[in-house]
Amino acid sequence: MRIQHLLMLDVDDTLVSSGRAEGILFPLACQQALGISEVSADWASYRCPTDRGIVRELVESRLAREATVDDYRRVEENFERLLEQRLSAEPDLCQPVAGALEAMTRFRQLPDTVVAIATAGWYLSARYKLETAGFDVAGIPFATSRDAETKADIMRVSAERATASARIQRFASITYMGDSTGDLRAAEHLNFRFIAIDTRGRLASAKHRYPSFEALDDILRTVKEMRDTLSLH
């Protein structure tokens, strides 16, 4: 089989309804790991709203120094530990977006297709949330804030890993599914096609927009139409 297409997905509030847990626990993880207080959960207030970007900005602005590998490691490990503790008591804080489990299964069955993941979150927390929500992500190319700081660079790393996994030079098309304006901008920057899984109602301007994966047949038709009419140059 000659693989020609890459379908890449975001995690938080695209595959997994985890925004509420993220808003509570990520600031707490930063406070505990970095020894600071009053960390904002307003992601739009940060210059680069990825986990790595937020930690770097907090260290520079609050601690007046450059962020280190140890800073990133401590926040990542602390966040994953807090997630495990909270989700064991409140599993409803991390559930699959409606239709997402079936969608992932169907995506992986598409001919000539590789499925990949690119998230602005940390590796440990992203894997834990996906597995807690019931996703089998074994063998899926994966990129996170461990790999790069900006969302576009994380998506680029994911695409590179998917290309290596498929043993090809490049994909004929790449489509990204995400839930934020940052996802849309990153996709446009990279010349990736974009489908909004608009679980939070923030992407009214997106050309291809669905509130969840419940309209899966329509989403699959959109993916096919994109492949039939568009290609990377």
Is the same domain home to 130 and 212? yes
Q: What is the pLDDT of residue 233?
A: 42
Both 88 and 102 in a single domain?
Answer: no
Q: What is the CATH number of the domain that holds 180?
A: 3.40.50.1000
Same domain, 220 and 148: yes
Average pLDDT over residues 178-201: 96
How much is the pLDDT for 62? 97
Average pLDDT taken over every residue of the chain: 94
- Compute the distance between CA of residue 169 and CA of residue 16 in angstroms, rounded to an integer: 31
Amino acid 230: pLDDT: 57
* Pair 158, 206 in one domain: yes
**Token representation of residue 108:** 């992986």
Q: What is the pTM of this model?
A: 0.94
pLDDT for 1 equals: 53
Domain total in the chain: 2
Q: Is the pLDDT of residue 43 over 60?
A: yes
Whether 131 and 190 share a structural domain: yes
- Using 50, 70 and 90 to split pLDDT, how confident is the model at 133? very high
DSSP string, 145-182: TTT-SSHHHHHHHHHHHHHHHHT-S--SEEEEEESSHH
Residues 137, 194, single domain; the answer is yes
Distance linking the first and last C-alpha atoms of the chain: 22
pLDDT at 3: 76
Mean pLDDT of 11-30: 95
**Residue 152 structural domain:** 5-18+94-229
- Domain finish residue from 35, 62, 92: 92
Write down which residue in 92, 109, 124 finishes a domain.
92
Q: Are strands 16-17 and 95-96 parallel, antiparallel or unpaired?
A: antiparallel
227 membership: H or E segment, kind and range: helix 216-229
Q: Give me the pLDDT at residue 122, please.
A: 97
Question: For residue 94, what pLDDT band results from cuts at 50, 70 and 90?
Answer: very high
